[in-house]
């Protein structure tokens, strides 16, 4: 269930942007930065977003510059012009922009050190076909690197199948994951009909969902599952599309039918049913499927957080705590190294406040631009009767434009503790 969030964007946050830049996922980072630019952010957060957007833009521009030079050297001037234009579009630094313009206006020629300089009396001519193969090889290597990096976020069981795709599919795939949705959509249409298999229709459906064409996305994903009923990628995506279309009962019936066939990964179907019943706020029904997953040791982090919330809703606090303890430890010191969802659980139930404080304090230092952890730290201070510290933190948040729910909590704390 977590893969779909990666593919379709998930929740955009300053932290996810920072991770994308650090991991050199420049296309993802540019997309996330542009999304964040349309959200209310504090001055410091806005500054960091702008810096990371510039860094990611330059990284993506260099990738396009590599493509442009390869196309240029192969005599594909029209395609080269498109890549040069994209490189200029993403580039932020003036120096890089100058480099792009120079390469566009003055095509470069690379000679092997063993080759004599033209005019020295020896021929340096290479057949046009030989040059084309050389450049194609260079471009293919660069495409493969980018393609392989994206596939690291895909289920390992499917990666090998993606490695046997044709050039049109790979080109469309790369465009789609760089946010060039319209171009990707056109490129997918050029894939030979014989190659339009289950993975093809899954990628098309995923792209259509990202573009907001949910009805077409549903049709494409259903076609993918007609070709391969056990393709979990398409199952996961189709469920999310059905939920987005508010076709909750259809999603539930679809998954229950999958379970009845006893084919494929049943634990994943149960995990998706937890999502559906949570969407309906049918907590007792969700619990049934949580326990199926727990028995199978299903440990996908997003599911663990949701499953713990379900158990908490029905009052099974010990089980909720046990689930959250399965998540990797987070920040903290002096042995209080617990993850943030567990820290929030302890805060809600007025337990282990020293550990919660340690984790929130570490999170504030690690993610200074995320007001959520400063608010949680303030709440923990009040819970520990450290009113002056809590009040100071709450007052600091007064200068930050908060989401409505957080602002309501901030005002409640101010009113309760006499600001």
DSSP string, 209-276: HHTT-HHHHHHHHHHHHHH-TT-HHHHHHHHHHHHHTT-HHHHHHHHHHHHHHT-S-HHHHHHHHHHH
How far lies 13's CA from each of 48, 359, 367, 398, in Å? Answer: 12, 19, 11, 20
Q: Yes or no: say if 320 and 309 are a contact pair by the CB < 8 Å rule.
A: yes
CA 158 – CA 150 distance, rounded (Å): 13
In eight-state DSSP terms, residue 367 is: -
Per-residue confidence (pLDDT) for residue 342, from 0 to 100: 94
Per-residue confidence (pLDDT) for residue 139, from 0 to 100: 42
Find where tokens 């050297």 sit: 73
pLDDT by position in tens, the chain (length 419): 544 454 444 445 677 777 777 767 777 777 777 777 766 666 667 777 888 888 888 888 888 788 788 777 777 777 788 778 888 888 888 888 888 888 887 654 433 333 333 343 333 344 434 433 433 444 455 666 778 777 877 888 888 888 888 889 999 999 888 878 888 889 999 999 888 999 999 999 999 888 888 899 999 999 999 999 989 999 999 998 998 888 999 999 999 998 988 766 789 999 999 999 998 899 999 999 999 999 998 888 889 999 999 999 999 999 999 999 988 875 434 444 688 999 999 999 999 999 999 999 988 888 787 888 999 999 999 999 999 998 999 888 888 787 788 888 888 998 888 75
Query: Length of the chain in residues, anyone?
Result: 419
Per-residue confidence (pLDDT) for residue 277, from 0 to 100: 93
Structural domain spans, the chain: 1-110+130-153
Per-residue confidence (pLDDT) for residue 129, from 0 to 100: 43
Q: Yes or no: say if 204 and 188 are a contact pair by the CB < 8 Å rule.
A: yes
Q: Yes or no: say if 124 and 115 are a contact pair by the CB < 8 Å rule.
A: yes
Q: Yes or no: say if 51 and 18 are a contact pair by the CB < 8 Å rule.
A: no
Whether this model's pTM surpasses 0.85: no
Per-residue confidence (pLDDT) for residue 43, from 0 to 100: 64
Q: Yes or no: say if 266 and 235 are a contact pair by the CB < 8 Å rule.
A: no
Residue of 311, 331, 329 whose CA lies nearest to 321: 311
Residue 17 token pair: 């942007």
Longest dimension (CA), the chain: 91
Per-residue confidence (pLDDT) for residue 116, from 0 to 100: 39
């Amino acid at each position: 269930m977590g893969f779909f969030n990666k593919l379709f964007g998930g929740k955009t946050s300053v932290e996810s942007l920072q991770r994308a830049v650090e991991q050199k996922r420049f296309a993802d980072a540019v997309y996330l930065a542009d999304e964040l630019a349309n959200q209310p952010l504090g001055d410091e957060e806005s500054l960091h977003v702008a810096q990371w957007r510039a860094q990611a833009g330059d990284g993506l521009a260099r990738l396009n510059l590599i493509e442009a030079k390869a196309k240029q050297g192969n005599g594909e001037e029209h395609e080269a012009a498109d890549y040069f234009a994209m490189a200029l579009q993403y580039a932020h630094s003036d120096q890089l922009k100058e480099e792009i313009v120079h390469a566009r206006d003055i095509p470069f020629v690379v000679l092997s050190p063993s080759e004599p300089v033209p005019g020295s009396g020896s021929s340096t001519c290479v057949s046009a076909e030989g040059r084309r193969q050389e450049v194609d090889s260079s471009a293919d290597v660069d495409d493969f690197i980018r393609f392989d990096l994206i596939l690291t976020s895909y289920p390992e069981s499917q990666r090998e199948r993606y490695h046997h795709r044709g050039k049109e599919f790979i080109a469309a795939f790369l465009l789609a994951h760089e946010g060039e949705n319209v171009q990707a959509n056109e490129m997918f249409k050029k894939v030979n009909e014989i190659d339009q298999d289950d993975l093809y229709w899954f990628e098309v459906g995923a792209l259509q969902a990202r573009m907001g064409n949910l009805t077409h996305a549903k049709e494409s994903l259903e076609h993918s599952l007609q070709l391969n009923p056990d393709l979990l990628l398409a199952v996961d995506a189709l469920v999310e599309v059905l939920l987005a279309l508010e076709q909750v009962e259809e999603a539930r019936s679809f998954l229950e039918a999958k379970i009845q066939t006893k084919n494929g990964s049943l634990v994943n179907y149960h995990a998706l049913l937890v999502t559906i019943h949570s969407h309906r706020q049918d907590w007792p029904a969700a619990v049934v499927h949580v326990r199926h997953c727990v028995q199978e040791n299903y440990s996908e982090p997003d599911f663990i957080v949701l499953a713990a919330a379900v158990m908490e809703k029905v009052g099974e606090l010990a089980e909720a705590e046990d689930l959250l303890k399965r998540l990797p430890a987070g920040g903290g010191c002096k042995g209080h190294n617990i993850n943030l969802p567990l820290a929030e659980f302890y805060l809600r139930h007025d337990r282990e406040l020293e550990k919660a404080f340690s984790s929130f304090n570490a999170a504030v230092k690690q993610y200074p631009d995320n007001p959520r952890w400063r608010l949680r730290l303030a709440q923990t201070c009040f819970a520990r009767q450290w009113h002056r510290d809590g009040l100071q933190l709450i007052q600091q948040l007064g200068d930050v434009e908060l989401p409505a729910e957080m602002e309501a909590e901030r005002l409640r704390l101010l009113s309760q503790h006499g600001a």
